[in-house]
Amino acid sequence: MKKILIALLAASCIAAVGCSGKGSGQSGEQASAKEAVKLSAFAGSLPKNTPTGTGMEFFVKEINEKSSGSLNAQAYYDTELGDATSLIQGLQQGTIDIGVCGDAYYSGLVPDIQAYELPFLFTGVEEARAAVDGPSKDIIFKKLEAKGIIGLCFWENGMRELSNNVRPVKTPDDLKGIKMRTLPAPVQVAAWKALGALPASIDAAELYSALQVGTVSAQENPLAEIEFRKFYEVQKYITLTNHVYTPFLMSMSKMTADKLSPEQVKVVRDAAAAGQRVQREAASKANDAAKQILLDKGVTIEEKPEIEKFKALTAPVYKIFTDANGDELLKMLKK
């Protein structure tokens, strides 16, 4: 009887250990599923219903589908995590994992990046895309990584146009004395000063209200951005200057990248490249459609400004850039 009892107890112990081991295995699998790395993907001050919003939505979906459950990315839009300036700080500090915003916001860390936005550098969008996707980006990305940010790829805002609520602008003389919001980069500020405007730095999220109350009377953005943000409600005149191409730089916090496996980093990089194609296609379509929408809204569009006069006055800005940063990057872009 004692032998039978001992055998039963031993069997019970073996069963208990077996069940316990199986249970632990299931819990581990469940825990592993729950331990997917969460990634914040922030579009800065850009709303969801923009080309960048479209690209960001696709980007996040790609990460979540291609990472086999190891990554869980979530998109944030329209200043949900702060403005564009705080986005850059968040990337450096690791409080924001991935972000995209105008390259001018990175100029405080890597001044060379201003080369992309030298006035009248590119003749059109395709030429500009080829330039920013070329070897110049490797120079920028290397310097950016030393500041704690990993460059992924360039998306875009497109060719920028001038709008104002004072008078039609055909020549630089028409700009004199008009207070306008410009990109927060020294080269941009110098260029608009040379054209006679009075530059002011205002975050994109606050621009509509600034135009509405008269803090500034002019701004410059691609047509799609002017239409998306309903600037036509507070701006009567647009001039098709095509003065600057604005890349949007998508980047990742180095602190975040260091926590990921090489395979996970590759998923993020691949998703950024795939998102680039979607975002650029959406940007092209939006800009093509925006012109007619703005005309229908009653905006007056000057299609043939005296561009050569604008070019002549902004030419000295190139020297401001090269004196501070050399001409290696500029020569590369001109090729």
User: What are the C-alpha distances in Å from 176 to residues 219, 284, 300?
Assistant: 14, 32, 19
Specify the pLDDT at position 30. 38
Specify the pLDDT at position 25. 38
Specify the pLDDT at position 10. 44
CATH topology of domain 37-334: D-Maltodextrin-Binding Protein; domain 2 (3.40.190)
Question: Which residues of the chain fall below pLDDT 50?
Answer: 1-33
Specify the pLDDT at position 5. 40
Specify the pLDDT at position 132. 95
User: What are the C-alpha distances in Å from 120 to residues 87, 128, 162, 309, 326?
Assistant: 28, 11, 13, 12, 19
Could you tell me the two tokens for 179?
């207070």
Burial 165-181 (b: 16+ CB within 10 A, else e): bbeebebbebbeebbbb
For the chain, the distance separating the N- and C-terminal CA atoms, rounded to the nearest angstrom, is 95
Specify the pLDDT at position 19. 37
Distance CA 43, CA 46 (A): 6
* Run of H or E including 29: helix 2-34
Q: What is residue 106's DSSP assignment?
A: G
Specify the pLDDT at position 123. 86
Specify the pLDDT at position 183. 78
pTM of the model: 0.79
CB atoms within 10 A of CB 213: 9
Specify the pLDDT at position 90. 97
